[in-house]
Chain A
Amino acid sequence: MNRQIVKLFGFILVLYALLFGFTSYWSIFDSDSLEANSANRRPLLEEQQIKRGTIFADDGSVIAVSRPQGKGDNQIYVRHYPEGPLYGNPIGYSFVERGRVGFELAHNDELVGNKTEFLSILDELQGHQQEGDNVTSSLDPAAQRAAVDGLAGRRGAVVAMVPSTGEIKAMVSIPEYDPNAVRNSKAFQRLNTDDSAPLFNRATQGGYPPGSTMKVVAATAALDSGEFTPNSVLSGSSPIEIEGVPLSNSGGEQFGEIPMTTALTNSVNTYWAQVGEKLGTDTMFKYMDRFGFNQKPQLDYPGFQLTASGVYQGGRLLDGSDRIDIGRVAIGQERLRVTPLQMAEVAAAVANEGELIEPRLWSKVVDPDGRETKLDPARQSRVMSEETAAQLNDMMQSVVQEGTGTAAAVSGIDVAGKTGTAEVSGGTNQAWFIGFAPADDPQLAIAATVERTSGFGGPTAGPIFKAVAEAILNQGNGG
């Protein structure tokens, strides 16, 4: 019988080897896919027990805070947004039931206090519970409110940033939504199926035709490439043929032989289309790339909530080798689609003497021990020379002083800007204003746009610029 006993033991060992094999499979080899399994709620449930960091606005007011519910081992934290819809789109939400988006997603690691393995072991030894860092956003409540009021319920978006640091002071997308409501699945369902797409952040995701605001990009290419000066003279007569198709000025207005400054001030389409054709696709694309077109913006924001600006053909981003009517690209027509964020960056690059700083929604992180990390502005690109920027600054000032952008003028402060009115289907317009102030020492670059309006860029979007600029600049003066 002894031989059989030994064989039986061998059989048991084979069974146990199977147990070991399967345990290794689940715990090591298949663990990544099990952890990513949608039925696995462990990661979310664990995060729910961590006190998520507070998000502050630039002035120290609270944007998002986690409040405890329950006691002891059962305590969980639930996110609350005291200002309701005011920061809905830029900040997003974070709920176990719903996941997270926006700033909450982009800064999740800091907000839940994820650290390097070494630091978390040290924390554990000291008996610290994992706790999130507090993150201060650069968003300014006064600027947010001014932008919301300025849009006055009209669909559209506003982005305001500090040219020298990239800090975003205002980011508003209308219609807005209240992130507190998202936790409720019925309310979320309604928001998700709403035709006006309130969950869609128009400021970073909306691809709109830029209209004449694109002439700032064309002017940059023209001046900085050395092929034009502010005094270069071309014909402003209308219509003229561009790529074999007649192009008219707004309202069919006729201009004679005019210099570039006049052409920008009065937004003369025919002049700028000729500039685009003379520069050619390569030069135009070179400068568009420098401004950050044709790639997703370098914002601290989730990739799926960022749209690249550029010339699109059926959802595909075209490059310089594709057949493109570059004359019409220069005046913001063709199949060009841009985001309000991108156009704010265009204004900011001119304002910051030609240097583009990466846009940022955060300004400061403070960990539970009080250690601070502050935003270190990152240079994205040198778009144009200081000289070009200075020339363009002067030209854009005259747009506001005596051209299409007078509605954006702020009393006592020089404003530089550019209007845009893109015709969209159904005879309605996409109204734009981009600009910066004060022109001699820019503190702020703003892009404002309104969807499907009957009005023009200057009178429609100009006052929004003015309201947001005043909200921020007056704050600075007041103290």
Chain B
Amino acid sequence: MSARTRELFALIPVALLVTAGFTAVLITNSDQLGNLSVLYGGYFLALCVATHIVIRIRLPDADPFLFPLVALLAAFGMVMLFRLDEGLARDQANWFVLGLILFSATIIFLRDYEALERYRYVIALAGIVLLIMPRFLGHATNDAFLAVDLGPITFQPTELAKICIVVFLASYLNERREVLVVGARSMAGIVLPPLKHLGPLLVVWGAAMLLLVFIRDLGSSVMFFGAFLALIYVATARISFVIIGLGMFVLGAWFFAQTAPHIEQRFDIWLDPFHDPGGSGYQLAQSLFAQADGGLFGRGLGDSLVQLPGCQGDFPDRCAILPAPHTDFVYAVIVDELGLFGGAAVVLIYALIAERGFKTAIVAEDGFSKLLATGLTAIFALQAFVIIGGVTRVIPLTGVTLPFISYGGSSIVANFILLALLLMVSDKARRRVRIENEVVR
């Protein structure tokens, strides 16, 4: 069976999930939802098949499971959004169209992703511009600058910036990894990279600190720096570099936590969300209550309490018992309605995507491809960890989106471009493997 046929078969569970999910929501909320809304489900499935055809034509050897796994997450997200608010699901379906158009465009127009290496400094600059843009063009949400207003829509540039940064780091580290390792000296038992190559790495550290202070976005900062450390580790095989980097990050974060009350408060809430459950700890406390409400199997789709009864307002921006049920806290709503099983399924899908991503990196031949696949996979996997970890109180809560599930255009578009790059790496690597096998035979 060819990789593409496997992919098509793997889309069957996605179809089942979307159909079952929409049906379940319709049965519970039949008084408010029209039968027409099921069309969003069908619309979504048609998009999946169209995308499959693009992949079949352009990337015939790419990993057969990555796209169906992503579609599965997206289906989860669609069903949850449909359950929260019909309008959200409609918007999200439109974002999927745009995301898949850019996905296809990336695959069709960027014929060879290795060309990206040549533009790495331009890409790095673009990444940094994207990162600091909200400070100048945007507005603060929860004291952090996350979005840029573009007419009727808001755009979160960090989502795109993460791809730029990963491309740059993969290219840069691929070129310098030899010197970083060979030139390393041991000081007091700690292996240090040579000073002249340390500069660009300090720049990355500085960028992460900048994010923290300037944009006040702890979540993205952790995500970026985590991906950076992951790439350093894979490129140099030196765990000491990771420890030094981690130490520097914690030191910096600690220093800024002293000056920025916003970050310090996040830590206090994390340590004791019930200190002020009606005030600063409200979000996290409500998130835990929602999960407790779910139990093992959950309340059932459409059966949990998401909207404050008797409250008149524009749900979900207002009147939500758990704030931001469609973005930051969508995982808590999933656990509430589908229980521990639902939550575990989501985490498992992310783990499987990470597995396919790292597998792609292993199969890839050259250093850049390996590091690119590793970086893209790592930043994707870390993003899911940062937000789910925040919602479940594993780490302090920071506002990043849950990839492919949370409501939001920037996140979907950016993650589809990320997926396109990953599939391109995979296609090239697996084609080589296939041809080698055929030659051997």
**Residues of A near any B CB (own CB < 8 A):** 1-9, 12-13, 15-16, 18-20, 22-24, 26-28, 30-32, 34-35, 37, 39-42, 45-46, 48-49, 69-70, 72-76, 127
Contact = CB atoms under 8 A, between A and B. Distances in A.
B369 to A, nearest CB: 11
B394 A18 contact: yes
B354 interface: yes
Contacts of B295: 27-28, 31
Interface stretch (B12-20, B129-137, B186-194, B232-240): B232-240
A27 B310 contact: no
B86 to A, nearest CB: 12
Contacts of A3: 237
B361 interface: yes
A8 B308 CA distance: 43
Contact of B394 (A22, A35, A49): A22
Contact of B234 (A4, A69, A72, A75): A4
Interface string B312-342: 1000000001000000000000010001100
A51 B291 CA distance: 26
A445 B233 CA distance: 87
Interface stretch (B95-103, B161-169, B201-209, B344-352): B344-352
Given A22-B392, A39-B278, A28 B296 contact: yes
Interface stretch (B3-11, B264-272, B381-389, B410-418): B381-389
B292 A30 contact: yes
B374 interface: yes
A23 B392 contact: yes
B291 A6 contact: no
B225 to A, nearest CB: 15
B358 A8 contact: yes
* 5 closest residue pairs by CB, A with B: A39-B277, A34-B292, A31-B292, A22-B392, A26-B291
Contacts of A1: 234-235, 237, 361, 367, 370-371, 374
Contact of A9 (B235, B277, B311, B358): B358
B361 A45 contact: no
Contact of B237 (A4, A12, A31, A40): A4
A46 B292 contact: no
Contacts of B388: 19
Contacts of B378: 8, 12
Contacts of B361: 1, 5
Contacts of B374: 1, 5, 8
Given A19-B388, A42-B289, A75-B309, 16 more contacts: A4-B233, A8-B378, A12-B351, A12-B385, A15-B381, A15-B389, A22-B392, A23-B343, A26-B392, A28-B296, A31-B291, A34-B289, A35-B289, A42-B321, A45-B305, A73-B32
14 contacts: A1-B370, A4-B234, A12-B381, A15-B385, A22-B394, A23-B335, A26-B393, A27-B292, A27-B296, A30-B292, A31-B291, A37-B289, A42-B290, A72-B31
